[in-house]
Amino acid sequence: MSRTNTYGNQNARQPRIGFVPPSPSNDDSFAEDKTTADVLITKAMNMKLLRTGEDPATTLPVQLIRLAAEASDGTSTARKANWEKVALIGKILQEASWKDTTKELQKDVTVAITAATENSNATMKRMIAEMRDEAKEITDRLAEATKGINEAIAEAGKTIEQAKQKGNGIEEGEIAPTNIPSYAQATRNKNGPRPTYGRRPEAAITAAAITERRFYVKSESESIWTLTEAQLAKKANLTIEKILMEEGEDKEAVKVIAVMKLRGKGAFCVLRNADEMLWMEEGERLKKFATDWGANATAQPTHHEVIAEFVPTTMDIEASWTWETITKNSQLPKNAIVAARWIRKPEQRKPGQKVAHAIFAFADMRVANRAIRGGLVVDHKMVNVRREEKDPQRCMKCQQYGHIARECKSNTDVCGRCEGTHPTQTC
């Protein structure tokens, strides 16, 4: 006769410790037996599965393990009784767990709803307070702006009333005249009043004034450049006095007041004013000065160079008669241009090239600025003129910056076009 390892109905088909009864709402056993958790716990205590004060949630799982161990070795009667206890423990645990879970869920939901409500209320209060503050700030700004506008209107009314009382003949609605001449007035009277512009920086004004009253002297003599600036100024004045005495002029008429030594065996000699510089430029005076200064010396005025763009290549810009024609057609002072040259040599031009850039040198900085503002007329063509931007010092041998070819210490030539190891002019 075979043994049946079942308890009750289909709820305990497998006699394993992993037995899990179904939920109370769908289980037939729970439908038949409506016992409460308290009754079940009392029954468990009578069966000596629990003692007074013990927590079923911790004690009963231990009993389950113990009973399962006993059931595996006992007689059939003992196993049946033990499995009845196991079933009872499972029901108690499920009932208690279901009730606790429901209560905890209700509690968590209640707490979450309460917290969300409190946070929502706090957020709404904060937003309302911020909106009130912003509205107050906007209202204050509008009030302040309205006050400023009213004050400006009142001040304008006072100004208009004062102008009327002065009797200057300006009717209401008319525009007061200005001191700026019209284009027609400017063309009729070139020496008329000019509009007032912003003040130039004092440093720029001083530098420009010095440029107009200095000339450049250069000599290959080593002994000259060992002298101090004071000694060089004395030497320059002795040379100028000799020229003045030859021309029967007062030896104090022209004086060098400062010398600015430069690298490369050169210096600027600064005179007292621009008129003395103009006197030095006349005739052969600078040439005489260079002759008396030292061996292989040269002296030349400070020129102000500008770049003329797209100049017709049909013009011989290096001829003095070309300078006179350009000066006359451009309405510049006579002898304004003192030198000119093409930026790129004519032999390096492309075949059929009709225009090229050129450099024009002016003796007077103010005339150079006039050319920049108004341009030049070259061979009946208006050409744009801009200031020449000096490039950094660059060696034409090694193509590095900071020195020139004659001071280069490199033994290898570098081409400025293709970077090859050969001179640029042979590329």
Per mean pLDDT, which of 36-40, 297-301, 309-313, 422-426 is the most reliable?
Answer: 309-313
Specify the residue for token string 């389950």: 64
Mean pLDDT of 384-401: 82
- Residue 20, classed as helix, strand or coil, is coil
All domains in the chain, ordered by first residue: 14-114 (no CATH), 208-301 (3.30.70.330), 304-390 (3.30.70.330), 394-427 (no CATH)
Task: In whole angstroms, give the CA distance from residue 271 to residue 215.
Answer: 8
How far from the centroid of its chain's Cα atoms is residue 276's Cα? 48
Specify the residue for token string 């060098």: 256
> Residues 76-113, buried b or exposed e (16+ Cβ, 10 A)?
eeebbbbbebbbbbbbbbbbbeeeeeeeeeeeeeeeee
Task: In whole angstroms, give the CA distance from residue 119 to residue 292.
Answer: 98
Specify the residue for token string 């000694």: 231
Residues 6+ apart with CB under 8 A from 9: 28, 29
Query: What are the start-end ranges of the H helices in 27-75?
Result: 28-32, 37-46, 56-71
Task: Band the pLDDT of 380: cuts 50, 70, 90.
Answer: very high
Q: Is the pLDDT of residue 205 over 80?
A: no
Structure tokens at 115: 């917290």
Task: Band the pLDDT of 379: cuts 50, 70, 90.
Answer: very high
Q: Is the pLDDT of residue 1 over 90?
A: no
pTM confidence score:
0.39
Mean pLDDT of 148-175: 65
Q: Is the pLDDT of residue 377 over 90?
A: yes
- Residue 312, classed as helix, strand or coil, is strand
338 touches 326 (CB < 8 A): no
Task: In whole angstroms, give the CA distance from residue 281 to residue 254.
Answer: 12
| pLDDT tens-place string over residues 327-356 | 999 999 988 898 899 999 999 999 999 999
- What is the phi-psi region of residue 169: left when phi exceeds 0, alpha when psi lies from -120 to 50, beta otherwise? left
Query: Percentage of the chain surpassing pLDDT 70?
Result: 74
